[in-house]
Amino acid sequence: MIETLRNRRRDRGRRTWGQRLVLLTNLGAIAGALGLAWMLNFTYEQAASVERVQLGANLTPLEEGESDGRIFNVLIVGYDSSAGLDPDDPIQVGRNGERFSDVIIVAHINEVDGTATLLSIPRDLWLPIAGLGREQKINYAFGVGGPAVLIDTIETELDIPINHYVSVDFAGFQGIVEVVGSVDVYFEQPARDWNAKPPSGPPFSQTGFEMIEPGCQTLDPPTALAYVRSRFYQVQQPDGTWVDSNPPSDLGRMIRQQDFVRRLLAEAIDAGARNPFVLADLIDAGLDNVTIDQELTPQLLLDVGRTFRDFEPGQLLTYSYPVEFGWEGTASVLYGIDNESEPLLRIFRGESANDPRTVAISVVADRRAETEAALAVDLLSTAGFDVAAASLADVPAGLVVRHGPNGRQAAELVNTALEGKAWLEEIDTLSGRHVIVVVGGTLVAEEVVAAPEVDVEAEPTTTLAAATSLLDEATTEAAAGTGTVTQTDDQAEAESCG
């Protein structure tokens, strides 16, 4: 298990380089700004050429000698340094060679159960900055004190250990896409990057991204880079007007990046990423733009690579730090939501993602279903979930587990405790591992979005099992082709894209 931050750090000796050592590391380390979780091979010469930074006084030491595998966190910072970009690149507007921590990710590597989990932290998260004595946006920590201050801030305020550090300039990301060739991404609507209200001057595109045609589109390396950079992402409505995406700014960008990560990983596998020669090309593409901490040793990378040699993109768990919008003076900021973030952070303190305590769970019940709700709460509590009594409201019939775009695994964990009786529903507004269990009472005409139709004339249910039986029947009908759940042409195209 990960050692908590409250344990004191200790001095460590340096490791030496082995002869003819082949390193296996994470594609997330090379393209860390996008949270890529994949293993790369380094030759001795390549590894020796990677820029390193001394952070021994800031990093939490990694426990060695665990027989069943190690559990550790890597802080991955993606930054846009205008120094290495083309003079005509739109990102140069208003820049003077500064380095901004545009993307902050904590990658959790668990060799015990073979899982990899990414936590995206929005750059506008408002919190106390280590050593500053006041609060600011978290990306300010990197700007004012580099990785050392950023690491201290995350360890202190989020109470999760940072064992290793990787940073990458976005300029290196484009080279990785060039090796893969291209990446297919599905667009429901025409999209573009457009800063409609800059602090000064007329509106302009910050990254140059523009996709006029909807549907499955192939992104070449420059377009892919512009897409993942976009913070001012807009979509075009049927009437031709352009509106800001929902969620906007950093939150929307993190969701798009996480989707792009999986697509790029799949393309890398298709291109032969498990072939050492292809891996060497991927390494060379990003090597000049990567910095790692001095303690990130070849042997550790080799061990991790062996553990994850069969890792598939679909196994990657990705989350965004739960936040809500707010204001500090005239500045728009994001505040952390403690009751939602705390269970999620347990994973990054060493708990398994299969531990019920890593799920933030709420139960909402129909006012006519207090008995059923009490039974649901009892089942969840018995399974180990930290759940309070249900809140009452007018809700649709049936038993539904609602989860966010990245919360499917947590929802399935909850549904297992409910004996597999619930219908799972994805809600865009839910973040992280926040799950809402909806317990319906008397059946009403309004149904849960995407759930099958049920008999609106049925009598009220009196037990949890009875409350779910009608939903079970409707699910069976849908599976047999007689229910109302159908897949649109757009949904089919989106699923097949990439």
**CATH, residue 299:** 3.40.630.190
Shared domain check, 203 and 309: no
Give the least confident one: 124-133, 194-203, 464-473, 488-497.
Answer: 464-473
Q: Are residues 270 and 373 in the same domain?
A: no
Q: In this structure, are 106 and 128 located in the same domain?
A: yes
Highest mean pLDDT among 31-45, 46-60, 80-94: 46-60
Q: Predicted confidence band at 233 (pLDDT cuts at 50, 70, 90)?
A: very high
Q: Which residue has the higher pLDDT, 446 or 151?
A: 151
**6 inside domain:** no
pLDDT tens profile 357-412: 999 999 999 988 888 899 999 999 999 999 988 999 888 788 999 999 889 999 99
Residue 241 and residue 280 in one domain: no
Query: What pLDDT, on a 0 to 100 scale, did the predictor assign at position 443?
Result: 34
Average pLDDT, the chain: 76
Which is more confidently placed, 205 or 443? 205
Q: Looking at the domain assignment, is residue 366 inside a domain?
A: yes
Q: Tell whether 160 and 297 lie within a shared domain.
A: yes
Distance CA 422, CA 170 (A): 42
CA 366 to chain centre: 32
Is 13 a member of any domain?
Answer: no
Both 314 and 334 in one domain: the answer is: yes
Phi-psi region of 9 (alpha: psi -120 to 50; beta: other; left: phi over 0): beta
Instruction: Please name the residues in contact with 44: beta carbons below 8 A apart, sequence gap of 6 or more.
Output: 17, 19, 20, 21
pLDDT of residue 469: 44
Mean pLDDT of 426-448: 72
Instruction: Write the pLDDT tens digit of every residue in 315-350.
Output: 888 898 999 999 999 999 999 999 999 999 999 999
Average pLDDT over residues 486-494: 62
- Together in a domain, 374 and 452: yes
What pLDDT band is residue 484 in, cutting at 50, 70 and 90?
very low
Distances (CA, A) of 474 to 127, 192, 395, 453: 47, 41, 18, 7
Q: Could you give the CA distance from residue 369 to residue 482 in angstroms, rounded to a whole number? A: 28
Domain with 376, as residue range(s), is 356-496
The packing angle between helices 249-270 and 221-229, to 10°, is 150
Say which range, 34-48, 168-182, 334-348, 408-422, has the weakest mean pLDDT: 34-48
Q: Which residues, at least 6 apart from 460, have a Cβ–Cβ distance to it below 8 Å?
A: 368, 441, 442, 443
Q: Are 85 and 208 in a shared domain?
A: no
Domain end point (choices 347, 369, 386): 347
User: What are 104-117's pLDDT values in tens digits?
Assistant: 999 999 888 888 89
On whether both 237 and 331 belong to a single domain, the answer is: no
CA 307, CA 110: separation in Å to the nearest integer?
9
Q: Is residue 14 part of a domain?
A: no
Q: Which of 261, 318, 312, 314 is nearest to 433 (CA)?
A: 318
Q: Are residues 188 and 220 in the same domain?
A: yes
Mean pLDDT confidence for 37-66: 68
Percent of the chain with pLDDT strictly greater than 90: 39
Phi-psi region of 249 (alpha: psi -120 to 50; beta: other; left: phi over 0): left
Which residue, of 325, 347, 369, is where some domain finishes?
347
Residues across the chain = 498
475 in the same domain as 436: yes
Does some domain include residue 4?
A: no
Residue 212 pLDDT > 90, yes or no? yes
Percentage of the chain exceeding pLDDT 70: 68
Identify the domain boundary among 194, 229, 250: 250
Answer whether residue 466 shows pLDDT above 80.
no
Question: Residue 420's pLDDT band (boundaries 50, 70, 90)?
Answer: very high
pTM: 0.74
One domain, residues 330 and 431: no
pLDDT at position 418? 93
Q: The CATH number of the domain where 444 resides is what?
A: 3.30.70.2390
Average pLDDT over residues 126-148: 94
Residue 483, domain member (yes or no): yes
The domain tally of the chain equals: 3
For residue 147, is the peptide bond before it cis, meaning its omega torsion is within 30 degrees of 0?
A: no
Q: Is position 267 within any domain?
A: yes
Phi/psi at 410 (nearest 5 deg)?
A: -65, -40
Look at residue 3 and tell me if it is in a domain: no
